[in-house]
């Protein structure tokens, strides 16, 4: 159990804002350009998109490619089980009446 708790603490120190989590969830579906990412964010988070992308890039969780846009790095791919769990919970929540 200790490695899991430590891993969550490290993840929480790298990804600290809702905007960053939202960007990671969007990028878990595949590479996207900044303008498309910004449009998919809730209205209040759109102004923080650039800062969120920069912070994730600074922590080596995402990278930018001219042809493909923003995408997860190998370090970012290690978050995929967490991102999949969040997406599953969100889908289940949306099914509730």
Q: What is the pLDDT of residues 2-35, one digit of tens each?
A: 555 455 666 777 888 999 999 999 999 999 999 9
Q: Domain extents for the chain? A: 2-95
Q: What is the CATH number of domain 2-95?
A: 1.10.10.10
> Residue 1 — very low, low, confident or very high, per pLDDT cuts 50/70/90?
very low
Entry field: residues in the chain:
97
pTM: 0.84
In the numeric block, which tokens belong to residue 31? 């590479």
Residue 43 carries which DSSP code?
A: G
In the numeric block, which tokens belong to residue 50? 């650039």
Burial of 81 (0-12, 13-18, 19+ CB in 10 A): exposed
């Amino acid at each position: 159990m200790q490695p899991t708790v430590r891993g969550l603490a490290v993840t929480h120190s790298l990804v600290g804002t809702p905007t960053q989590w939202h960007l990671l969830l969007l990028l878990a579906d595949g590479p996207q350009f900044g303008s498309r990412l910004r449009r998919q964010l809730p209205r209040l988070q759109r102004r923080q998109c650039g800062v969120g992308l920069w912070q994730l890039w600074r922590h080596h969780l995402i990278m930018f490619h001219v042809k493909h846009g923003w995408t997860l790095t190998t370090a970012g791919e290690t978050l995929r089980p967490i991102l999949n769990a969040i997406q599953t919970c969100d889908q289940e929540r949306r099914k509730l009446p």
